[in-house]
Amino acid sequence: MKIKNRVLAAIAAVLTASLVASGCSSNEDEEATSSSAAPAIAADKAAQFQQVLDDTRAKAGFPGVIAQVASPEGTWTGTSGVVGEGKTEPPTAGDKTRIGSLTKTMTATVLLQLVQEGKLSLDTPIGQYVPGLPNGDLATLSQLADMTSGIPSYTMSDAVVNKYFADPEYDWPPQELVDAVKPLPADFAPGQGWSYSNTNYVLLGMVIEQVLRQPIADVFEERLFGPLGMSDTTFAGGSIEIGDPHMDGLTDQNQPPGQNVDSTHWNPSFAFTAGAVISTLGDLEKWGHALFTGDGVLNAQTQQLRRDSIVRDIPPNTATMGYGFGIGDRNGWWGHDGDIPGYNSVLFHNYDSDTTIIVLTNSDNTFDVDGKELFPAPAVSAGLQAAVG
């Protein structure tokens, strides 16, 4: 979740092919499977994976990384670096981290649960729940979920961005974020363009709270985290705390060139249901299985609805790279990035090879390779995908 002009780099991280290795096309009939029973990965392959972590971290300069590759051939988990800038402890698989926009996969899942239960329709305009928005009378919940609503991101508001950096611990009410876009013009008519907007997913969270008459933290716990056994995962809301053990976040956003700041305790309410969740590698392994199969969260028909939601015919989406209901497809690797100041994450699955990759880094600082601005976690993931073969 890059702020202001760097939000464009986040869009690129979602859709740009240069950030990922080429993958096989997906097989719609295969299902992702849990890797919990898989054997340990072969030593030579494990060494390749570890080399990717070490080399990418050295090149990019971020403090630490946790990663996992799980396939029928085995499961490998590795770390590199340190838990935070200026610290000596290495990261561990149990460290908590802010997962940023991976939260969107969860928000979209609850939205689809409510569709499945007949409690709302994806064809309903957002204005019936939250009035006064640009395109609000026309843009549907479906168009919010796949980023074709034309509703601008609140990160485009100077007032919001300036307030955020002036007081990073401020507890943002979601309504305040949404109100910031009301004076802004729509980016395009609904369905006539595509733009990654965090406002869309803040609004979907507000809709979920209205329909269920529950705080979103309770909704996520009752519908996702509890049933799936994700005991180390929480919706942080307006709390700046992150439980121990955890990785410390490092960001250069809004800092003088070459300088970084510890953003561990910046308030995630700035992202609400677009990016406020805290989780761990182990819990994201459980979440990945549910996300890519529907097991425990959606029935087969609704899971297929999610798979079929990918927008492929509106640029910058293409036939092989697109975005749908809280999930993307990049050359056969399905999933999402997570980005919030100080943290960067990736959760991808390839259906053909039944391989899942999870990457968690404690910095969101981009780095330049051959003129391309790369994010840490997608860069690590690209190397792991290439090593998978």
For the residues of 276-343, what is the DSSP string, one character each? -EEE-HHHHHHHHHHHHH-TTT--HHHHHHHHHT-B-SSTT--SSEEE-SS-EEETTEEEEEEEETTE
Q: How confident is the model at residue 2 (pLDDT cuts 50, 70, 90)?
A: low
Other beta carbons within 10 Å of 352: 12
β-strand partners of 139: none
Chain-centre distance of CA 322, in angstroms? 15
91-122 pLDDT, tens digit per residue, is 999 999 999 999 999 999 999 999 999 999 99
Average pLDDT of the residues in 278-296: 98
Q: What is the pLDDT at residue 30?
A: 35
Helices (H) and strands (E) in the chain, counts: 12, 14
* Tokens describing residue 242: 């992150």
**pTM for the structure as a whole:** 0.92
Q: Which amino acid is present at 357?
A: I
Distance CA 318, CA 311 (A): 8
Q: How confident is the model at residue 32 (pLDDT cuts 50, 70, 90)?
A: very low
Q: In this predicted structure, which of 23-32, 82-91, 171-180 has the lowest mean pLDDT?
A: 23-32
Q: How confident is the model at residue 371 (pLDDT cuts 50, 70, 90)?
A: confident
Average pLDDT of the residues in 39-66: 94
Whether residue 56 has pLDDT greater than 80:
yes
Q: What is the pLDDT at residue 41?
A: 84
Whether residue 362 has pLDDT greater than 60:
yes
Q: In this predicted structure, which of 1-5, 139-143, 200-204, 373-377 has the lowest mean pLDDT?
A: 1-5
- Which domains, and CATH codes, for the chain? 4-388 (3.40.710.10)
Whether residue 21 has pLDDT greater than 50:
no
Q: What is the pLDDT at residue 389?
A: 83
pLDDT, mean over the chain: 91
The percent of residues above 90 in pLDDT, for the chain, comes to 88
> Among residues 204, 151, 160, 207, which one has the least CA distance to residue 180?
160
The percent of residues above 70 in pLDDT, for the chain, comes to 90
Cα distances from 27 to residues 110, 307, 350, in angstroms, run 25, 11, 9
Average pLDDT of the residues in 220-241: 98
Q: How confident is the model at residue 1 (pLDDT cuts 50, 70, 90)?
A: low
DSSP per residue, 150-192? -PPPGGG-HHHHHHHHH-TT----HHHHHHTTTTSPPSSSTTS
Q: How confident is the model at residue 81 (pLDDT cuts 50, 70, 90)?
A: very high
Average pLDDT of the residues in 114-140: 98
Q: How confident is the model at residue 27 (pLDDT cuts 50, 70, 90)?
A: very low
Whether residue 17 has pLDDT greater than 70:
no
Distance CA 201, CA 221 (A): 18
* Tokens describing residue 320: 């092989």
Question: Which residues, including other chains, have CB under 8 Å from residue 142's CB and lie 6 or more apart?
Answer: 122, 123, 309, 325
Average pLDDT of the residues in 376-383: 96
Q: What is the pLDDT at residue 38?
A: 54
Whether residue 35 has pLDDT greater than 60:
no
- Between strands 372-374 and 64-71, the pairing is unpaired
Whether residue 54 has pLDDT greater than 50:
yes
Distance CA 147, CA 193 (A): 9
Q: What is the pLDDT at residue 22?
A: 29
167-177 pLDDT, tens digit per residue, is 999 999 999 99
